Amino acid sequence: MIGAKKVHLPVLVEKDEDGFFVVECPLLQGCYTQGKTLDEALKNIHEVIELCLEVQKKEIVGPPLKYEV
């Protein structure tokens, strides 16, 4: 993505009682996912973060912002 601003966001990872990895980004409301493996969970959270940022971008008044995760 040309002209996108690259951001680094914290994520929290924990393993649930069923053995799935649950990942959330505490800075973005409702931004969480899971995966059977850690790699799958981290891939999923990248996608969810992009979706959350797209929603925020549409809610912000002013010029559109571009983000790259």
pLDDT tens, residue by residue, 10-63: 999 999 999 999 999 999 999 999 999 999 999 999 999 999 998 888 777 555
Tell me what pLDDT residue 56 has.
84
Tell me what pLDDT residue 61 has.
56
Cα 6–chain centre separation: 13
Tell me what pLDDT residue 57 has.
80
Class of domain 10-59: alpha beta
Tell me what pLDDT residue 9 has.
95
The full set of domain ranges for the chain reads 10-59
Residue type present at position 33: T
Residue 10's nearest CA partner among 36, 45, 43 is: 45
